[in-house]
Structure 1
């Protein structure tokens, strides 16, 4: 049986990848030690998702409570399965962009960059024919986007009409000369490693530069998981504090199932060394204010808002990525969910929030 290795296997992206791969006939081996609860608090723990995976998938999923920085433990798994490993999805990370992202840059680099190098080397040594998919981030571009001409509208910031990035930022945007935070710079390092191993070391490796990924299983927190956290706050009728830009900062949002369908396309026909901006594009984008209003409409509750002028370091005022390159390589793929559909799903599935109001 072909084996797939998924890191961060109990997280939003990792768990969705696990389900897709087991349904495709793979034995999936997962790494996840719930560091997310350390980063973002107990409500962000991935343990409930892990229990669901184990219950639903049985022997098709083998879990290792392993830190991806532990090269010996990771290497032992790669040695055990060897060339039976056909797919690696590397979704483990420290993904937060707020206080933690400047709190311990050495640990953050070890998690996001050094661990990626260890996985690439393990793949090169034990399963060089495997497809290696890396979850990068739009934060690799730093805050360069903020230097582009923007105009302020009633509920969002918007790039000037006619700008070359009007339909989304392409992979040609420079990553140099901008503020990244330790999240962005550690992900840049990992992103470049994945490209290097794909282009020059023979691995069938690709990087996905995601923006906001959403889904009903997300253990969202204030510091990570924008859409899920907004819906959670509104459903529980709690106050919400908007950080910077008057809540008009824009993100594109991609449903995790749409992302995992993109993974499946690359697994079937990889382009070694490819880098893809990956998101909802203009089809699925919103400002913080717009997401809050949609959540209020869905739940029937109004939220009490407060505003802080201070923005997060390196935060994007506007980000809509272009899927053009990916769709050129994989023309049958397109996002299916829009922002309202994602919020509705999150609200419907997490009905326990309403009892906590």
Structure 2
């Protein structure tokens, strides 16, 4: 029996992986205890997404399990030895991490170790994909020379024109507490490849997004911005004149790469995975684009203090991933992403929200 295990299965990437890849396996197991609801409140709740999977994916089985539960995780994985594990569960906010450092590290670093060791014991031939983050680079990208334009910051040196590659240093910089816990997880995933021979990869994501994201102010930049504009709510810009730049990748394109890696796995690999130059946008540009797409006038305020460890300009260099997996490509444009999320937001905000419990 072929088995797929996905942690964070109610979230953006986890749920997309289940929908996209579950038909290729006999059994798809989702692990998610909806911690987003306790982290972020109503808009972080993933109950609706879980119910969708349970209703529409016939071979899906959901487990309300915390990745910090080592014994529970070991037991579940042992009984269901996986062929592919996609680890998408995390405490995802670098702002929130500073207020809950123990929880942040226990979930991001400890939970990752629990899953790695559970997987190795159950099936050492398993393919293990870890959703890491570009925050492992800390604020080192801010040391690159930048040029200010009317609406964004751009890399001044042509050598950086395609963005940040995997050779960029990950230490000797300010990461935020979240970034530090994700570094620990990232390096441990690599080590299980180097030391134990587990076929692992770390996907250091830029801004992963899509209509199924439960974006909030502390996590999910573009989705949260779109909701704010569509609902006529005030959006807050934090520092850098609103000209900070992010590259955005649709969750479908993330899943497409995971499929490629599963088919031809490598050992202890690291990839920067984002939308690249073509799907990059600043906050100011995003407000304008969403205003056009929605027909609404964005309302926003500005705080001159940037978030600790935040990037001024971050674009994922996709050269390595394209060389290793030439069949993979970005299929969804930034313009389509925005239009899709605007349309989805209009529909979803008219529907009643499920009740949820904050543990």
Q: Give 1:335 shift.
A: 0.7
Match of 2:80, SS state, is helix
- SS in structure 2 of the partner of residue 95 of structure 1: coil
Task: Give the match for residue 356 of structure 2.
Answer: none
Cα distance in structure 2, aligned partners of 1:238 and 1:133: 36
Tell me the equivalent position of 1:269. 264
Tell me the secondary structure at the aligned position of residue 13 of structure 2: helix
- 2:91 alignment partner in structure 1: 94
CA contact (8 A) 2:145 2:157 kept: no
Equivalent in the alignment of 1:19: 19
SS at match of 1:207: strand
Match of 1:173 among 168, 172, 179: 168
> 1:51-80: per-residue Cα shift (whole Å, max 9, x none)?
00001113x001000001101111111121
Query: 4+ residue stretches of structure 1 with deviation over 4 A?
Result: 353-356
- Aligned: 1:241 with 2:240: no
2:107 alignment partner in structure 1: 111
3-state SS in 1 of match to 2:57? helix
Q: What residue ranges of structure 2 are gaps of 5+ in the alignment? A: 352-359
- Show CA shifts across 1:296-342 (max 9, x none): 00011101221110100000000001111111110011111122111
Question: Equivalents in 1 of 2:23, 2:150: separation in Å?
Answer: 45
Deviations 1:11-53 (A, max 9, x none): 0000001112212234111100000111111211011100000
> 1:259: which partner in 2?
254
What is the CA–CA distance in structure 1 between the aligned matches of 2:198 and 2:25, rounded to whole Å? 23
The answer as to whether partners of 1:133 and 1:263 remain within 8 angstroms in 2 is yes
1:353 is displaced (CA, Å) by: 6.0
Could you tell me how far 1:97 is from its partner in structure 2? Answer: 2.1
Q: Distance in 2 between matches of 1:267 and 1:194?
A: 16
Question: For the structure 1 residues 201 and 310, does the alpha-carbon distance in structure 2 shift closer, same or farther, using more than 3 Å as the test?
Answer: same
Q: Which residue of 2 aligns with 1:7?
A: 7
CA–CA distance in structure 2, aligned partners of residues 79 and 174 of structure 1? 36
Are the equivalent residues in 2 in contact too, given 1:251–1:286 (CA < 8 A)?
yes
SS of the aligned residue for 2:249 comes to strand
Q: Tell me, in whole angstroms, the C-alpha distance in 1 between the residues paired with 2:289 and 2:7.
A: 33
1:66 match = 65
CA contact (8 A) 2:230 2:345 kept: no
Matched residues in 1 for 2:116 and 2:347: separation?
40
Match of 1:324 in 2: 319
Paired with 1:336 and 1:155, the residues of 2 have a C-alpha distance of 26
The match for 1:294 is 289
CA distance in 2, matches of 1:42, 1:301: 23
Preserved CA contact (<8 Å) 2:12 2:210 = yes
Q: Distance in 2 between matches of 1:130 and 1:353?
A: 37
In the aligned structure 1, how far is the partner of 2:166 from the partner of 2:255?
A: 20
Rounded to whole Å, the distance in 2 between the matches of 1:20 and 1:239 is 34
Provide the alpha-carbon RMSD of the alignment: 1.2
User: 1: CA distance between counterparts of 2:348 and 2:289?
Assistant: 17
Instruction: Name the TM-score, length of structure 2 as normaliser.
Output: 0.96
Aligned equivalents of 2:286, 2:341: Cα separation in 1: 13
CA pair 353-14 structure 1, distance change in 2 beyond 3 A: closer
Does the residue aligned with 1:196 lie in a helix, a strand or coil? helix
Residues 236 and 353, structure 1, Cα contact 8 Å, conserved in 2: no
Does the CA-based 8 Å contact 2:4-2:25 persist in structure 1? no
